[in-house]
């Protein structure tokens, strides 16, 4: 379901796992699109190398850490729930447009072992910025995810 477009310019964003991989690409893209502040929600704030993001201690598997991060970053208007899976994102920020981002393999450390077509993390991030700006609730970032989605709409047994 699509919703209102989301302004990136002037926004305050939080990217979980914003120190490397796809999360870092999200943080860069948000700043390039004019975000006023981007928090990198990370387990080790000392490991954040980008001086233009704000390190925020956050372990998405730790309830107490999620609570502390939400309290410390009360000004967030865009949450990119990138690190790990589950509902930690919704517990950090509620009542906003949720964009589902799907991709097969992305060129990061996580997929280093995969010998299959991969897309750059910057492409995932840029497509997500487009979706936010257009109010689209879903990003199918590569051919693999588009094929998977198309297969879902086929009749059973097709």
Ligand X SMILES: NC(=O)c1ccc[n+]([C@@H]2O[C@H](COP(=O)([O-])OP(=O)(O)OC[C@H]3O[C@@H](n4cnc5c(N)ncnc54)[C@H](OP(=O)(O)O)[C@@H]3O)[C@@H](O)[C@H]2O)c1
**Among 14, 92, 99, 106, which residue sits at the site for ligand X (rule: CB under 6 A)?**
106
Tell me: does residue 42 bind ligand X (CB under 6 A). yes
DSSP labels, the chain: --------TT-EEEEETTTSHHHHHHHHHHHHTT-SEEEEEES-GGG---TTSEEEE--TT-HHHHHHHHHHTTT--EEE--SSSSSHHHHH--SS---EEE-S-BSSGGGTT--S--B-HHHHHHHHHHHHHHT-SEEE-SHHHHHHHHHHTSPTT-
Out of 8, 83, 92, 125, the residue judged to bind ligand X by CB under 6 A: 83
- Establish if 20 lies at the interface with ligand X (CB under 6 A): yes
We find the least distance from the C-beta atom of residue 23 to ligand X, in angstroms, to be 5
Give me the least distance between CB of 111 and ligand X, in Å please. 3
* Contact with ligand X (CB under 6 A) among 13, 14, 53, 103: 103
Minimum distance from residue 10 beta carbon to ligand X (Å): 25
Interface size with ligand X, residues (CB under 6 A): 24
Residues that bind ligand X (CB under 6 A): 16-17, 19-23, 42-44, 58-61, 82-84, 103, 105-106, 108-111
């Amino acid at each position: 379901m699509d919703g209102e477009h989301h302004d990136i310019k002037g926004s305050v964003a939080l990217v979980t796992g914003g120190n490397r991989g796809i999360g870092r690409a999200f943080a860069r893209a948000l700043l390039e699109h004019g975000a006023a502040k981007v928090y990198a929600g990370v387990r080790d704030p000392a490991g954040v190398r980008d001086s233009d993001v704000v390190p925020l201690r956050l372990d998405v598997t730790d309830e107490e850490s999620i609570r502390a991060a939400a309290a410390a970053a009360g000004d967030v208007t865009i949450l990119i729930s990138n690190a790990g899976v589950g509902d930690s994102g919704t517990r950090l920020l509620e009542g906003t447009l949720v964009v589902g981002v799907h991709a097969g393999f992305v060129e990061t450390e996580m997929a280093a072992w995969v010998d299959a077509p991969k897309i750059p993390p910057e492409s995932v991030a840029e497509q997500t910025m487009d979706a936010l700006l257009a109010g689209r609730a879903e990003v199918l970032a590569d051919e693999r995810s588009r094929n998977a989605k198309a297969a879902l709409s086929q009749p059973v047994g097709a």
